[in-house]
A and B are shown apart, each in its own frame.
Chain A
Amino acid sequence: MSIPHLNDDELNLAVLGEDLPPEAVEHLAGCVACVRRRDAFLTTVEMARGTDPDEATQVQVRERALAAWGAPNRHHWARWLAAAAAVLVLSLLPLRFHRTAPLSAINADAVMLEVDQVLDRDPLSAVAAEEIVDTVVPVSAESGERSVS
């Protein structure tokens, strides 16, 4: 009586190189068709694997990783320095803002005080020169009409 061909599960085990039931091992030893099915798959996998990168590429990539590994100390310092600078700038900003705001207020008050003093001395100085002329001697009056003011 001939032993039947390997079923799917047995063929998968054969492909993976795992232990087969004794009767399947016996069959595989003498069945060209089953051996061909197993080998066809393994050959196709081998071809699909493709080529490995060349030695030069591997060395290049490795060296870059090693160089980057050696660099953290520098980055650490730079990072700490940048953080310290940022903290310093942020801590000074409120001071600057606090100082400029009252100064602006003081200047405005001084200007208004000065304006009030000038107006007290000479109220007409608050009116533009052309307006004074137009009010005292209207343009229409020059042409013989009555002034409305």
Chain B
Amino acid sequence: MASVPQRGPALRREDEGELVEAARRGDRDAAGTLLERHELLVFRTCRRLLPAGEDVEAAVQETLLRALKNLGRFRGGGSFGAWVVAIAVNLCRDRLRRKRLVPFLPLEVRDENGADPFASVPSSDPNPERVAMARQAVQRLRKEVSLLPTRQREVFALRFFVGLDLEGIATALGVDVGTVKTHLHRAVQRVRVAVEEARP
């Protein structure tokens, strides 16, 4: 479902069902393993759907807690990761609505870890013009994503920043795959054109 690298021993799909059942019975270790597997998805979701300055860690913690408290509502047939991301998306929407914040992707130079988000831009490139252009393209992409309609922005973020596939996004947003495709194509078209303008 997601392209998040797994840590520790790889767990099969059926193992996840067992973990959920054990966690429902109050097994703390099982609950911890479940959270560990999907925490990064939640981090990426909250980070990309909340504006700069919002407490991402608090949002992640609240999401994980809600997931644990509502384990009884999880339908075993679907992806647990997408279900947790759905909780994260709803939490982010609630926060934005409550605080009447304008959603946007953070454009600041430093991210919440104090790291340079442009660290992956090849600054060792001998051509400084190309480096500047790459940074400009990143900024333009983030800005353009922030200007997308809410649903398109969520779909784009879940696909490209969180790493969910179409079915995972559909589950997380409570829509069908066709709707996800439509929003995704519109979003990609708009963002791609903007990036090409910044990075000809």
Contacts and interface: CB of A to CB of B under 8 A. Distances in A.
Bound pair (A, B) = yes
A66 B113 contact: no
A9 to B, nearest CB: 8
A68 B115 CA distance: 29
Contacts of B141: 44-45, 48
Given A16-B188, A58-B39, A65-B64, A44 B137 contact: yes
A11 interface: yes
Given A11-B192, A16-B184, A65-B35, A53 B112 contact: yes
A49 to B, nearest CB: 5
A32 to B, nearest CB: 15
A8 B39 contact: no
A66 B27 CA distance: 11
Interface residues of B, number: 45
Interface stretch (B10-18, B73-81, B88-96, B116-124): B116-124
Contacts of B127: none
Main secondary structure of the interface of B (DSSP, over half): helix
Given A12-B188, A44-B134, A52-B43, A65 B117 contact: no
Nearest to A54: B113
Given A12-B192, A61-B39, A62-B36, A40 B118 contact: no
Given A54-B113, A62-B36, A62-B64, A37 B196 contact: yes
Nearest to B106: A50
B119 A51 contact: yes
Given A48-B142, A53-B113, A66 B31 contact: yes
Contact of A69 (B36, B65, B137, B199): B65
A61 to B, nearest CB: 5
Contact of B69 (A46, A49, A62, A69): A69
Interface string B26-67: 001001100110011001100100000000010011001100
Given A65-B68, A69-B65, A69-B69, A50 B111 contact: yes
Contacts of B189: 8, 12
A139 B46 CA distance: 92
A64 interface: yes
A51 B134 contact: no
A15 interface: yes
A62 B60 CA distance: 9
A149 interface: no
Contacts of A65: 35, 61, 64-65, 68
